[in-house]
Structure 1
Amino acid sequence: MAEAFLGAVVNEAVAKVIPIAAEQISLAWGETLGMIEAFLQDVEEKQTKNTSVKLWLERVEDVAYKAVDVLDEFAYEILRRKVEIRNQILRKVLDFLSCNNSILFRLKMANKIKDILTSLDDLNNLASQFGLQQRAIDHITPVTAYGGPKVETISSRGDSNIVGRKHDVSKVVNLLVNPKDKQVVSVVPIVGMAGLGKTTLAKLVYDDLNVQRRFVRFWVCVSDHFDVKRILKEMLEHFTDDPISIPQNKNAMVEKLKQKIEGAKEGKDQIKYLLVLDDVWDVTEWEDLKLCLEGISTNGGNGVIVTTRKEDVASTVQARSDQWHQPEKLEDEECWSIIKERALRDSPISHELEPIGKEIAKQCQGVPLVANVIGGLMSKIELSPRAWLEIQRSGVWGSPESVLKVERVLKLSFDRLSSPSLKKCFAYCAMFPKDYCFKKEELIQLWMAEGFLGTSMAMVDNGNKYLNELLSNSLFQNVTRDTCGNILTLKMHDPVHDLSLSVSKFDALIFRKNSTPITNECSHIRHLNVGCDGESLP
């Protein structure tokens, strides 16, 4: 995964050469960096695990970042001198100083540039020795009409057109309303592979009218860290926005929840609650949570839905397998329906494209996330048999494992993002925890601060364009909007977050409470994140 991110870094270095006044630098540096980029394309296609090539990649990253830093120094020096020249009163003095400074600056930069060019030549020679070949680089044409009706239609689709899940919703609702275990708290695990739509199914159940009438509902995203106090706290936040009023110990939290749920009866004889624990990986504290949940309400019929990829998690929270639900994969025709909606929208489909599209749908192997992402990718390419056949024959379909297929299809979508800067914006999102609710304006400001959006007055416009492209490629989801349709918040699907971690770990060090840092070598770190209890400090 790191090769594609390095390609973005190298590409950025090439782009920064262009505005520099020194023509010699542009020619020599741009040519050698371009050769490196062509070698990276071969590494990406081969997906090599060769140790020597991996070390070569690390050296490429070091040199590419040094190149970017030197070019930033050039840009700063040019800007500084322009500001000095504008001061008419001190112009003669500054001209004199500038002459001396210019000589020193040129000597300093000449040595740095010489070192980098030498390193680049060495890297190109090593690449050839490792058997890497220079591949033609397929630069994707940037998507036009950002923010226009085409993009808005995609991102506002949300969960409104969920395909093939009515039976699943009915079954899970029935397991909640008529549980087989007759416990005070009946647990229904929803188990399945990445991209199968477990969270989407849980949301459909959560919003079902029968469920709304019977239960006081709570939703908690657990993700990597199963913390009982945090779960109880988030349940209490359902009733209040005032954190001061929330007790700090578990017994008091349980009593408070009991009071609040009893107060929600609204004339009913009994009140039950439903807790959705989304994306559960570790249940070492499950028995502790279960005791707390039983203390909240002694009336039978309370429910817990647990979504998880792991069957051992499901068996821990619910011993009866007949109380589980494992969503089936979609039919090929259902996958084709998703792809067609994303790729074509309201455009008619030609008789030449339909059979190709149906073959692509078969290769999705019933995984809705794959169909959704492929459909988004196909919306960016021309409506021609040649372009669609290229997708059909892509190497992403080679893996027999469906989970790997999800990762590879997502990777294909990442590879085809329209610019290196956009790839860096996407990778930066790994600095936030899973299920993090991104605020649109805040995210654009952070991208801007990192220098991913350029230095012109159009930085905010660039941020909006990038965000819309990530949305249209299904790399963001769960969009909320204001009354005018403007994006307020959005989230990442878990497999997409996994992808962002994969492409960013080459230069990011991420600490979570009670977790191992996700990184390769600390010497390559350019971003540091320290998070605790679901909080992120990018």
Structure 2
Amino acid sequence: MNVFMKSTKGMRDNESVREVVNKIRDVAHKAEDMVDTYVVNANKQRGRNMLVKYFFHRKNHVIMLPEVNDKFEAILSSILEIREKINENMFIYGIQQRNKEFAKDSLIARRRDVEEEEVVGMVRDSDEVIRQLEGGDLSREVVCILGMGGLGKTTLARKIYNNDKIKSMFPYCVWGFVSNYYSAQELLMSILKLLDLPEEEYKYLTNPEQMKRKIRESMSGKKYLVVLDDIWYTQVWDELHEAFPHDNNGSRILITTRMENISRYTNATFTYRLSFLDETQSWELFCYKVFGKAGCPLELEPAGKKMAKACKGLPLAIVVFTGMVAKKERSLREWNRIQNHISWYHAHEDYRIVTDILKLSYDSLPRTLKPCFLYLGVYPEDYEIPARTLCQLWISEGFIQATEAGPSNSQEVEDIADMYLDNLVERSLVQVASKRSDEGVKTCRVHPLLREICISESKENKFMEVCEELDANRSDSRRVSLQYKGECLPTTGDKWLARSLLFFGEETRWERESQGWKQIRNGFNLARVLDMNQVVLGLSPRGLKTLIHLRFLKVTASSRRIGNDVLASLCNLSSLETLYLWLRDEVTLPNKIWKLKSLRHVYLNFDNIILREWTRKESMPRIIRQRAKRLQIWSKGASMSEMKIGETKVENLQTLNNIYLNARTASVLNKGMFPNLTKLTLRREPTKLLEPEKEYLENSLMCLNKLRRLKLLCIAKLPLDPNAYPISLTKITIGYFGKLDAGIIKTLGQLANLRTLKLVGGSINGDVNCVAGDFPQLQVLHLSDVQLAGRWKVEEGAMPHIRYCINPHIHD
């Protein structure tokens, strides 16, 4: 059946092939359900006390086995029928059995940016729009870019936004993504983050009117350009335009839309209608995306020009299609073969053209990448997807098997997931929204048209479905993305077919089981992924410990008691790999959690709701709000339980964050309990300010031989001996440290592999002198809200590989 699935990947339009593929999928799901259900029932038997076990375990076990056997026989019969049908129709299907394994690409060194520096075919377009932006009178005017989806409205707007002439003309430039799933609160918050304001002034604003007032105050008297990208509804303009002041200083608002009525409604003084690329421009863009500045070989031009022409002048279609072509062999035979496959596109129009070309690009993906690409459909439109979380979800879903990583000395599954994401970026199926300091993908987006492919293909194959209500009876897919508005409605029905449930919507608080948790507990007991984003549990999650197949869990606890209840329930989840737990108060990690052999990532994020509400009050003096925020940062962390010497090591754990640095933590780390830890966040325990932090760090860090990223919060006393730090460290972040001795900077400069140093919130006492040989591998130095009491001098030969020096808030 695996051979059949591989061999027919380009033949799914054939009704007979599609029928067999659907039968294979359904029987695979039934087999999976049978095994997982048996494991759940067996686990329930083990959970009974000894007396109950003695009387009932043998009887129930005897009852369970025949039922399992009957299901197994039915599944086996279905498999045999499928095999017979495949063999009988092998000639008709025209299948040549082959077994080509996907050859893993090496990690891609260079990621593509969201927008190209030079956009082919848009010089005239951008010049025209820029002329309109600089012209007119001093009143606030609106300029509109209008066109169908995929024509490059966002690309053109980005080119204008990044133009040097525009930046000199408008001191304040702000970009706002709108999209079809518009949220006023999210959009206004994204604009506030671009206004170079102290974070405490806007972080806790939730009321749109307050946000608009803050934006208006911040931009008052300044000449600005605001880009509102992809407006769909007139309501958006009604809700946003008041945030931007009328100061008669020549400010402009640039909007992009596919709706002509939006241009009229906003009273745009100029509307630029984006046109298709002509054949020359299409060919120029095609060549640039495939060959860069090298140019196309003459023998390939005829076939290449036919492929470019088949894209009908639509930039998005050319970009995505060339992402596929660039991966193929550059020979006349291969290009003719590709060109022959797309010749029928000439007969189609509008979105059908784009959809078909995007579908062709999806079909060309290796089998291992297809589910990773389809999974992007779980996110709302224009959602900025955290790359780290996305890769962890891929792993939890089973898209990247541990066996693919090979021997213990080869790549981790996280590295392979990162490679898969890079591959999708290279094929122009994923856009990079932001990058990490090491040039890796930090956040990404998927174009709305590509997202439509993900959703339609996923629904047809029962892979994934997007729903607006939590209703088990309305979906037969294995994964459900609940994208709700308003309150999250409870589910109906007893059993879910889905194994993964992801929430996307406004913050919802569950105080009673009937609001949703009871339905998840009873109907979702085969869950592998439970991402309860924005759902706050105001009750203890009874039954969580029965979800024994759970691999990924993201949940928010409203109190310390509920947080500890969640942690206690996790101790039974032997398959758990990734935990994101949002907490409102500090907790203690139980010892039993370290018995979870599959556990890889533990993220504990703290949010003091009382301080958050307090700091929102505008009547509160700014300095008081700042101190409250600093208190909140200082007061949040998790404690470690005492661990017995000789306990089994947690071999798979890679990430551990927000742990108090104290004698207990130092003892646990010093015992080598986490030998493969790569990311660690430690913070000072607020009630024990006089504890010897330096000694704790010296005892803790030297045992972490694979630690790559270290974050220290509210900790100023660091070891001065370079040997106290693991040689494997590539990034160190020191935040809210108060006063830091300049000698520590000199110490960090001796770390051979340190590539990123980030200092946030505090002062450095004394002179920092970097001499030749210091910071030999440092590439990024990031200082934010740091006060220098002395001088920071860098001599020739120090920091030889520095690429970025970022200091947005530094004081000499």
Q: TM-score, length-normalised on structure 1?
A: 0.72
Question: After superposition, where does 1:352-371 map in structure 2 within 5 Å?
Answer: 352-371=299-318
Does 1:312 find its partner at 2:272? no
Q: Any gaps of 5 or more consecutive residues in structure 1?
A: 1-29, 81-100, 263-269
| CA gap 1:141/1:352 in 2 versus in 1, 3 angstroms | farther
Find the partner of 1:452 among 399, 402, 408.
399
The answer to whether the Cα contact below 8 Å between 2:231 and 2:262 also exists between their aligned partners in 1 is yes
Within-5 A mapping of 1:422-437: 422-437=369-384
The alpha-carbon distance between structure 1 residues 110 and 161, as it changes in their structure 2 partners (threshold 3 A), is farther
Task: Determine if contact 2:202/2:211 at 8 Å carries over to the other structure.
Answer: no
Partner Cα separation in structure 1 for residue 467 and residue 357 of structure 2: 25
Residue identity matched to 1:45: D
What is the identity, as a one-letter code, of the residue corresponding to 1:409?
I
Q: Distance in 1 between matches of 2:139 and 2:208?
A: 19
* 1:282 aligns to 2:233 (yes or no): yes
User: How far is 1:199 from its partner?
Assistant: 0.8
- Alpha-carbon offset, residue 276 of structure 1: 1.4
Residue in 2 that maps onto 1:189: 144
What is the Cα deviation at residue 120 of structure 1?
4.2
In the alignment, structure 1 residue 236 sits paired with structure 2 residue 200: no
- SS of residue paired to 2:194: coil
Instruction: Give the whole-Å Cα distance in 2 for the aligned partners of 1:154 and 1:244.
Output: 32
Show the counterpart of 1:253: 211
Separation (CA, whole Å) in 2 of partners of 1:308 and 1:329: 16
Whether 2:162 is the aligned partner of 1:207: answer yes
CA drift of 1:189 comes to 2.1
Q: Structure 1 residues 502 and 527 mapped into 2: Cα distance closer, same or farther (>3 Å)?
A: farther
Which of 40, 55, 77 aligns to 1:118? It is 77
Per-residue deviation, 1:200: 1.0
Q: Does 1:406 align with 2:354?
A: yes
Q: Is the 8 A contact 2:310 2:345 kept in 1?
A: yes
- More moved, 115-124 vs 33-42: 33-42
Q: What secondary structure sits across from 1:425 in the alignment? A: helix
User: Which is further off, 271-280 or 197-206?
Assistant: 271-280
1:459-512 per-position Cα deviation (integer Å, ceiling 9, x unaligned): 223212311221121111235434543333322222222222222233323333
2:365 is aligned with 1:417: yes
Give 3-state SS (helix, strand or coil) of 1:427's partner: helix
Q: Identify the residue that residue 62 of structure 1 maps to in structure 2.
A: 26
More helix by share: 1
Higher strand share: 2
- Identify the match of residue 112 of structure 2 among 155, 173, 189: 155
Which residue among 237, 246, 249 is the counterpart of 1:297?
246
* Aligned with residue 168 of structure 1, among 105, 111, 125: 125
2:324 to 377, 386, 393: 377
**Post-superposition CA distance 1:41-91 (Å, at most 9, x none):** 54x234x6xxx99998765543232244567899x99xx9xxxxxxxxxxx
- Distance verdict in 2 for CA 1:399–1:72, change over 3 Å: farther
Shift in CA distance, 309/60, structure 1 to aligned 2, threshold 3 Å: farther
Aligned partner of residue 490 in structure 1, secondary structure: strand
The number of residues matched between the two structures is 460
**Change over 3 Å in CA distance of 1:261–1:36 after alignment to 2:** closer
Contact 2:432 2:441 in 1 (8 A): no
- Which residue of structure 2 lines up, in the alignment, with residue 389 of structure 1? 336
Q: Which moved more, 1:506-515 or 1:438-447?
A: 506-515
Question: What code does the residue aligned with 1:357 have?
Answer: G
Change (3 A) 1:219 1:70: same
SS class of match (2:395) = helix
Of residues 223-232 and 371-380 in structure 1, the stretch that sits farther from structure 2 once superposed is 223-232
CA distance in 1, matches of 2:63, 2:304: 62
State whether structure 2 residue 434 is matched by structure 1 residue 486: no
Cα distance 1:35–1:159, how it changes in 2: closer, same or farther (>3 A)? closer
Q: 1:319 to 1:302 in 2, by over 3 A?
A: closer
| Corresponding residue number in structure 1 for 2:173 | 217
Residue 139 to residue 127, structure 1, CA distance change in 2 (3 Å): closer
Give the Å deviation of 1:377.
0.8
- Residues 228 and 253 of structure 2 are in contact (CA less than 8 Å); yes or no, is this contact kept in structure 1? yes
CA distance 1:342–1:154, change in 2 (3 Å): farther
Q: Is 1:510 aligned to 2:467, yes or no? A: yes
Q: Deviations over 1:234-263 (max 9, x none)?
A: 32222333375554444443432233123x
Which fold has the larger relative contact order, with Cα–Cα distance below 8 Å and residues 6 or more apart in sequence?
1
In the aligned structure 2, how far is the partner of 1:441 from the partner of 1:139? 32
User: Which 10-residue stretch deviates more, 370-379 or 238-247?
Assistant: 238-247
- 2:473 is equivalent to residue 500 of structure 1: no
Q: Aligned partners of 1:177, 1:155: CA distance in 2, in Å?
A: 31
Change (3 A) 1:454 1:317: same
Contact 1:218–1:238 under 8 Å retained in 2: yes
Say if 1:165 and 1:354 are closer, same or farther in 2 by CA, change over 3 A: same
Match of 2:417 among 450, 463, 466: 463
Bigger shift: residues 137-146 or 368-377:
137-146
SS at match of 2:13: helix
Structure 2 unaligned segments of length 5 or more: list them.
44-59, 406-411, 469-482, 509-530, 534-553, 555-812
Query: Structure 1 residue 378: deviation in Å?
Result: 1.2
**Residues in 1 aligned to 2:507 and 2:6: alpha-carbon distance in whole angstroms:** 37
Amino acid at match of 1:529: L
Q: Are 1:192 and 1:308, in contact at CA under 8 Å, matched by a contact in 2?
A: yes
User: Is 1:442 aligned with 2:401?
Assistant: no
1:430-451 per-position Cα deviation (integer Å, ceiling 9, x unaligned): 1112222233322211111111
1:475 to 418, 422, 429: 429
* Partner-residue secondary structure (3-state), 1:325: strand
Distance 1:135 1:41, change over 3 A: farther
- 2:124 maps to a residue whose letter is H
Q: How does 1:79-90 map to 2 (within 5 A)?
A: none
**SS of 1:274 mapped into structure 2:** strand
Aligned AA for 1:342?
K
Instruction: Report the TM-score, using the length of structure 2 for normalisation.
Output: 0.50
Secondary structure in 2 matching 1:453 = coil
Deviation string for 1:386-443 (max 9, x for gaps)?
2111211114624421322221111111111112x32111111111122222333222
Is the 8 Å Cα contact of residues 407 and 495 (structure 1) preserved in structure 2?
Answer: yes
Q: By how many angstroms is 1:304 displaced? A: 1.8
The structural deviation recorded for 1:163 is 0.8
Contact preservation (8 Å) 2:358, 2:453: yes
1:357 Cα shift?
0.8
The 2-side partners of 1:190 and 1:116 are apart by: 56
